Amino acid sequence: MGGLAEPFEFEFFVRGMVAATLVGVLCAAVGVYVVLRTLAYIGHGLAHSIFGGAVVSFVSGISFYIGATIWGVFTVLLINAAARRRQIGGDAAVGIITTCAFALGVALISRHGKFTRDFDAALFGEILGITSGDLYVIAGVLVLAAAVIFAWWKQLLFTTFDSDVASTYGVPVPWVEALFSLVLAATVIASLQVLGATLIAAALVIPPVTARLLTDSFTRMFALAAALGGASGLVGVYISWFVNVSSGATVVLLQGALFVMALGWAVARSRWPGTGSGERLAAIEGAQLD
């Protein structure tokens, strides 16, 4: 039994577990809006872009958080501006801007001549290298995101569902979108150290999609996604101690396993008459035949 409690003897490990749990909740909660707006690609792109910001911060000798925040906000505003042009489209705008920002980071690294441990962490995450300062930043961003989501719950939901109609009903859509973009950028920055640029997209997307398979209610989807994100962060890091695999990768693989289970459950229920999903499908079919 002592073996199972062994990781808790190390402060850095406990810190890593707390960080992974908070990041899991944060990414999943913000990810609900990302997934429902079919912007999964933006999370992926933004993480890569902010990697570029991390490199620029390092090379210019300024704090990672300050540099990455400026870089992230700039990138998000640029994506928003480019995506408004119908000839470009949101996905292409993300593709162009974020890969260029990432490429700039790579170019600076090759020019700098050294691929340091910091860059390694920014790419793949290093949960066990989390400092108390990192933990405060993560907790701060979580509180900020929770406050924005709580205070602007209805506006965010309406804008996510149908932004055109939301503006007709008086929702200040450009402000809601800008505020959400900033929360998303802050989420990616705070999560970079834990999951790395390459894995953040998974933490943003998998728990919300898993939750969507399990419920048809927005409120329940949100709560379920946050719970799945947090639980997979906590359990994933704990398992990683024993299997001796990268913590970030373990968290994401655990989320992937939960998704497969939810998918299997949803498929089985839809084929099993009389169960919840079966009734839902029958209702849909009945309604369409109405």
Distances (CA, A) of 69 to 66, 117, 248: 5, 21, 22
Contacts of residue 174, Cβ cutoff 8 Å, sequence gap at least 6: none
Contacts of residue 194, Cβ cutoff 8 Å, sequence gap at least 6: 16, 19, 20, 23, 125, 127, 130, 138, 248
Could you tell me which stretch among 2-10, 106-114, 163-171, 247-255 binds other proteins (CB under 8 A)? 163-171
Contacts of residue 205, Cβ cutoff 8 Å, sequence gap at least 6: 31, 34, 35, 40, 43
Could you say whether residue 284 binds other proteins (CB under 8 A)? Answer: yes
Could you say whether residue 218 binds other proteins (CB under 8 A)? Answer: yes
Q: How far apart are CB 84 and other proteins at their closest, in Å?
A: 8
Alpha carbons 205 and 228: distance in angstroms, whole number: 12
Alpha carbons 199 and 240: distance in angstroms, whole number: 15
Could you tell me which stretch among 113-121, 134-142, 176-184, 278-286 binds other proteins (CB under 8 A)? 278-286
Residue from 5, 164, 244, 274 binding other proteins (CB under 8 A): 164
Q: How far apart are CB 88 and other proteins at their closest, in Å?
A: 11
Could you say whether residue 10 binds other proteins (CB under 8 A)? Answer: no
Residue from 170, 243, 244, 274 binding other proteins (CB under 8 A): 170
Where do contacts with other proteins occur on this chain (CB under 8 A)? 36, 85-86, 150-151, 153-155, 157-158, 161-162, 164-171, 212, 215-221, 280, 283-284, 287-288, 290
